[in-house]
Structure 1
Amino acid sequence: MNQDRLGIYYRMLNIAPGASAKEIKLAYRKLAFEYHPDRNTDADSEEKFKDITEAYEILIGERKAPPQASNGANGQGRNTNGKPSGTSAYGPNAAGPGNAQKTRQGFAGSGRKEQQPPPGKNDKYARANQAYREQQAKASARKSNIHPGARRHKNKKPTSNTAGLIQCAVTGVVSAQPRLVEFKIVRGFFNSMRTETVSAYLAPKGARRMALKASFKTWLRGFWGWRSFVPAWRAILGNMRGGTFPAEGNAKLLFAQATAFERSGNRPLARAVLLQARDFIGTNRSALAEQIRTSIRRLEDGQPARRVRDEWKQVGTLVALLHLSPLFVLIFALLIAFGPGQGFLTRDLPTMVAEKSTEITRQVAQMIGEDRDPYYVDRDLLNMREGAGVNTKVIRRLARFETVYVSGDSEGIWVEINTSIGETGFVNLDALVPGNGADARDTWCSQNNCD
């Protein structure tokens, strides 16, 4: 097969006749990358891709060239451009019109001869055709303006409701002062370091949440390398102060938000949001800055300009402590392990817990009167005093039939008692009768017909 006969296929790949297999392969890859339907949205990109695939397979010997690719070395049947007459350099008729009825469309291109596949290869061709159809179906369903191999933007895109108002990417609320906020995440390991910037359209509450999340990721992965130590601290402190606010991005965001407020009929709030946008643009003379200034003048109504309360100025003490909380935990752990608190968890704390448990058990036993004989008050009202004597302060008055427990020795007519609720005091010994107060009350009521 001479080179004149294959000249059309060399021209399809933009290479000189007689090129090596390596040159053919490189040329095909370059053109396939350019005309692949998943990458090129032109209407004829698919046909060009099929043609260059056919030319590549013919030149490397995977497919036989049609006998009508050329009418001989003398150039008969060719036009002034060197192509077969009545045909173009691309498409199923590239091999000449006389072979139009003898060729069929293959899964990778045109120009195949009608021939039966070798035995045992029917399933292989069927699977290849099915895979090609599935690929084409996916390509047609994919958005044509998105590169399929492009990396998707990881940051959250702004979402808007039916009125066009931009919502917070974290909380979903509509704010009169949304911001485009950027936070830093630092990752390090030995000598390597990587800094990631995450940004989103946020309200103040959502910004605090995202800042904490970015700081915690830096705490977990930013201090494992010597190069990332200082950048990690800078990232945490920057996140603690609320991140950074790109001026151009925030001006565009606030202008769009003000436009949505104006469409909804809230002109005063739209003007207030535009004033925030003007703070970002400053003395800039860009087209966006002129649009913002024009909109502010258009919304003037003779009234003083309304300003919404700025919630982005101050950072709360609690928020700052949350950002630095892992540092406090680390300091506490070091003090426990190596400092004055060494042995506290293994020796002192268990001892303290055991002693406190014993004390609580003793108090509970005294409270419920375990292993003690109960007494009840046999007077209508009985003063319980702080000490043994009538001159001491009265704690409270005990009701009749109230159950008490003797907790100490008597001092004359006075005795120390504990009430059922844990109170301790002194009462007159003559007013106490052995027994349970509830049983004594039931007996008295049965005898006196009380309700």
Structure 2
Amino acid sequence: MNNDRLGIYYRMLNIAPGASAKEIKLAYRKLAFEYHPDRNTNADSEDKFKDITEAYEILTGERKPPAQAAGNAKNSANNGASAKPGSTGYGPNAAGPQNANRTKQGFAGSGRKAEKEKPTTEDKFARANQAYREQQAKANTRKSNIHPGARRHNRKKTDSNAQGFIQCAVTGVVSAQPRLVEFKIVRGFLNRSRTETISANLAPKGAKRMALKASFKTWIRGFWGWRSFIPAWKAILGNMRGGTFPPEGNSKMLFVQATAFERSGNKPLARAVLMQALDFIGTNRSVLAEQIRTSLRRLEDGTPTRRVRDEWKRAGMFDALMHLSPLFVLIFAALIAFGPGQGFVTRQIPELVAHQSTEITQQVKQLIGEDRDPYYVDRDFLNMRKGPSVNDSIIRRLTRFETVYIAGDNKDFWIEIETSLGETGFVNLDALVPGNGATARDTWCTTNKCD
């Protein structure tokens, strides 16, 4: 009767009625490992885990059976003539092989003290299970489909400057050809003139921004005094040409950058940066120059030294026009106010603006319309970044079969795309396949019989 009453719990653990405590424990551990909510992401895994935990606790005596099972136990105790007083279907006095070799204590006053029982393995496992349930109750906001071990690996990525790289002070990027650049800012008022020199470690793009900023400050505050007029023009022209590069400071900074590249394992790039430092140091015999030459000899591997493309020689007329744009604005305003440009402003400029806006609208429609060839993502997940590098931040993660459009030329293994939501970013070129994502998904689902 005892086994029939608890048969449903034996069936939950997939063991035969009357199994030993060891068999009950092994069956429970196997099922708990399979249906644990942190390992199994199915919707019914948590309910299944609760059921097998309840069956284990009832069969081991940690929990009383439900009221219906308790009522059956009372009737079986009244009807069974062979039932011993004090024996129940659960607990330490439960009938079965698990308690067959259990020694009973003597009566009080029999001259033998009751020995204190040591905690068994089942008791330790029960206490650990209870502690787990309490911990789950405290952290009930945690998602059940995330394994706890995944949280240990969700750490902040190592900063690129942790290796000792020199970053651009404006853009924050790590460049293979940084420079220590100096720009001039002139301030003047009446008979006073003051020149300020600003310097920073910059990449080519950051240098253009700082040059424009320094020239703008000179334009605003440098032409208010007769003594500062000529120095202001010299400062603007010097900033327009890219500023000045102190040789000693640049060679020292490039030596530090080359050391960082060598420490990271990129020896060819370290050699290229040392060659740039050697160009600044020239024939100098200082301690720094000897360190640079020693590092170059240490990195020699028999292959020709490869130089990087110099980005600092690309000071074109566009930068000059940007720096001189306030002067052109003043000349244009004078022509409008006092010259023959009045009719041009009132009649021809509105017509020209309307024509140009119409052409721009048509180009935009062609760019974002359906005439472009669609591509879809052929990976489960694909990171779309702000730039063509793994160092650029991730905008979002594209899913498989998401339709995108090509928005620019490819750069090495990266290509600029635009999503159907209007987002633009860079992804790996080999992850895109020509075609519509919805059609490809339907074909794949037909072959693989997906929902």
TM-score (norm 1): 0.41
More helix as a share of residues: 2
Name which one, 1 or 2, has greater alpha-carbon Rg.
Answer: 1
TM-score (norm 2): 0.41
